[in-house]
Structure 1
């Protein structure tokens, strides 16, 4: 074996004062190293007002891309045309259909038995027949009197001609010395009298003809007025048979069989299945953006159809507004009233828009501030937000792409300008 030098080595003990100095220097150095390593955390703790765990927060990244604003919800099928039939007159109702029956346009759905209206129609018809007889009698009398007037006028014409001939004879005889002048004067007076009689007959004939004409016209007008009354009663009687105004389906029967109803009472409803719409409830915040003609999508049962907004209710009920969509094109088959369908309405679509996921931060303080996560710190920065969709909010100012925004949970910060976020 080769011997080592352990026999020649000698341990030298350090001096007691020097050992304590080395230990003190090492401790100070360790403290300085620990302080340097912990300085960022200490700095954050000193410069912030609070510290919140990241697990309590919801963070979203600001992005630039397409922005789609739409409203989605559940809608129900309603009939755009669902007329209600009313009783045209009081009486007893006899129903010819049942609820749910398919009916054709013009088909009789119910009948009303109104004895009072039937009796009145019969009475007015009788009055019309009596007036027609009076008119015919007046026409006959007018023809008779016209014939008598014609006869008197013709006799007066003949008398005038006879008187003229007699005057001519007497004048010739007087010239021949066979007649006295007295006879000529008498013949001249007779001619003048015949001329006056003819003039009076002619004038009286015209006046009497006018009077007879007015009498006949008056009776004719009375008859026409009575006939109009009869036609109106016939219309009312015909309306006692309630016919379907559209082709569709019987909705509800509002009265029982053989029930006695008053005038204008509701009897039943008819649903026009060819004019169905879908009604949805929209939150009041989106209602101001809805307009007639906006495109939408209606889906159900694995199928989808295009739709257009046809009407928007002007009234807000429980914070919601009712909007209706009609099918763009032929409506689908086998739809039923009150059937549930999914509805989506496109409000706006734009490209290259700065957006962030929607959250509670947009409602806190009017959406004027947001907390941005930077190097473990949540900093409160002023922002300006724009339009909102179901899942995104447009960012107009204050943020840039890539910023991480605390979209919910920031209420724990109590409005502090800077908050430390612990993992």
Structure 2
């Protein structure tokens, strides 16, 4: 079908007036092939990964013993300082152990070992003293090991170990004195002094360990931050990626039953608690971060100090700046069976496209992280769609003498829209920028 003169003139003018970067091939029918030029500019290579918002620190305060939540001095949403008293647990069992240890210490302080009975009696006294010390240390170690607060547990276990080492020294001295008495080398007075010293050390240590267990019933904030009653689904982790829980207060006076997986309940004041029952969680929101799972094929490009952006499902249209803080050395297996590595980022402020401030995220929110891993400035660039790969080699279709010629190129930084050409092509050369899959060698191109 013939064109009208007016339409032919319009098409001719369009072909002549289109700029080089967007000049379309002008034949009898549109071909979908677009000719432009290689440019020069900056290319950013982006690695994209899924992640979630994390907090800098969070700690769950748990009951160190069986008893009753006697005092709850804070409420949900309160801000507390590290070390501030937040709750007190009443434990009759721990109080009784302290009372018994106090009585034993008073008894030893009032009198020592009787000098009567001979060497056999002294040996029996030493065995009883060692047995009492062993029971006291075992009970203290068991109680300390049941404490779920890692910092408190470590401190209590260290105290037990130090007490055991101290007692071992005085017990060895007492044993040496008894053996010397049995062989007739040492006097009765020396054996009495050594055994009395061992008894006093044992009683003093039993008292101090029992006192430490009672002191631990006064619960303090492990970090500065905001209070959330109850625990979390991942309360043991120092950096939480899911800080969401549902409140379901237990009835007053009844033990707090173990919550179902992923759900913790708030314990009201006056409720019975067991060892490890979560009372409250303190979340430090002063420094929010993001934990992203980066595929093994990309993780070697990610370096500490690198920058990126974060988008949240909860804040559509907002972009948050982020900086890489660390890249984990050990991998994790993704749900699809692949290997990924956790990249930890510091989260900055966010803005919407119009410049207004974005809301402060909450821990656990889903995020898409885009990491700028490489950048090339003042580079020869072509659109990503201009690159065609064949037999493992990259190339572009250049327009030379009005015909298509495939030119091999070496690529550098590869962005989402533009890629860097390291060699094989110069800026300003005419190339096929779209529809490269429709081009064949020697094809006529305008």
Q: How does 1:224-263 map to 2 (within 5 A)?
A: 224-251=201-228, 253-254=230-231, 255-258=265-268, 260-263=272-275
Q: Distance in 2 between matches of 1:393 and 1:63?
A: 10
Q: How does 1:361-380 map to 2 (within 5 A)?
A: 361=387, 366=392, 368-374=394-400, 377-380=403-406
1:390 maps onto 2:366 in alignment: no
Task: Describe the superposition over 1:115-157 as per-residue Cα deviations: whole angstroms up to 9, x where unpaired.
Answer: 222222222222222222223x769xxxxxxxxxxxxxxxxxx
Q: Distance in 2 between matches of 1:98 and 1:378?
A: 74
Q: Distance in 2 between matches of 1:85 and 1:126?
A: 32
3-state DSSP of counterpart to 1:82: strand
- Aligned residue number for residue 145 of structure 1: none
Task: Please tell me whether the aligned partners of residues 230 and 267 of structure 2 are also in contact (alpha carbons under 8 angstroms).
Answer: no
Q: Distance in 1 between matches of 2:342 and 2:30?
A: 41
- Aligned residue number for residue 131 of structure 1: 108
Q: How does 1:206-285 map to 2 (within 5 A)?
A: 210-251=187-228, 253-254=230-231, 255-258=265-268, 260-280=272-292, 282=294, 285=297
Length-normalised TM-score, structure 1:
0.56
- Aligned residue number for residue 33 of structure 1: none
- Aligned residue number for residue 40 of structure 1: none
1:110 maps onto 2:130 in alignment: no
Q: How does 1:185-224 map to 2 (within 5 A)?
A: 210-224=187-201
3-state DSSP of counterpart to 1:337: coil
1:324 maps onto 2:334 in alignment: no
| Greater RCO, CA 8 A, separation 6+ | 1
Task: Please tell me whether the aligned partners of residues 52 and 420 of structure 1 are also in contact (alpha carbons under 8 angstroms).
Answer: no
Task: Please tell me whether the aligned partners of residues 399 and 432 of structure 2 are also in contact (alpha carbons under 8 angstroms).
Answer: yes
Q: Distance in 2 between matches of 1:279 and 1:408?
A: 37
Task: Describe the superposition over 1:192-239 as per-residue Cα deviations: whole angstroms up to 9, x where unpaired.
Answer: xxxxxxxxxxxxxxx999432431332222222222122112212222
RMSD: 4.4
Q: Distance in 2 between matches of 1:65 and 1:81?
A: 42
Structure 2, unmatched stretches of 5+, are 1-26, 116-183, 232-264, 350-356
3-state DSSP of counterpart to 2:111: helix
In the TM superposition, residue 253 of structure 1 has moved relative to its aligned partner by 1.6
Greater mean alpha carbon deviation, residues 115-124 or residues 364-373: 364-373
Task: Please tell me whether the aligned partners of residues 65 and 354 of structure 1 are also in contact (alpha carbons under 8 angstroms).
Answer: yes
In the TM superposition, residue 386 of structure 1 has moved relative to its aligned partner by 2.0
Task: Please tell me whether the aligned partners of residues 376 and 413 of structure 2 are also in contact (alpha carbons under 8 angstroms).
Answer: no
Structure 1, unmatched stretches of 5+, are 1-50, 140-206
* Change beyond 3 A, Cα 1:71–1:210: same
In the TM superposition, residue 289 of structure 1 has moved relative to its aligned partner by 1.0
1:402 maps onto 2:379 in alignment: no
3-state DSSP of counterpart to 1:128: helix
Task: Please tell me whether the aligned partners of residues 230 and 278 of structure 2 are also in contact (alpha carbons under 8 angstroms).
Answer: no
- Aligned residue number for residue 90 of structure 1: 66
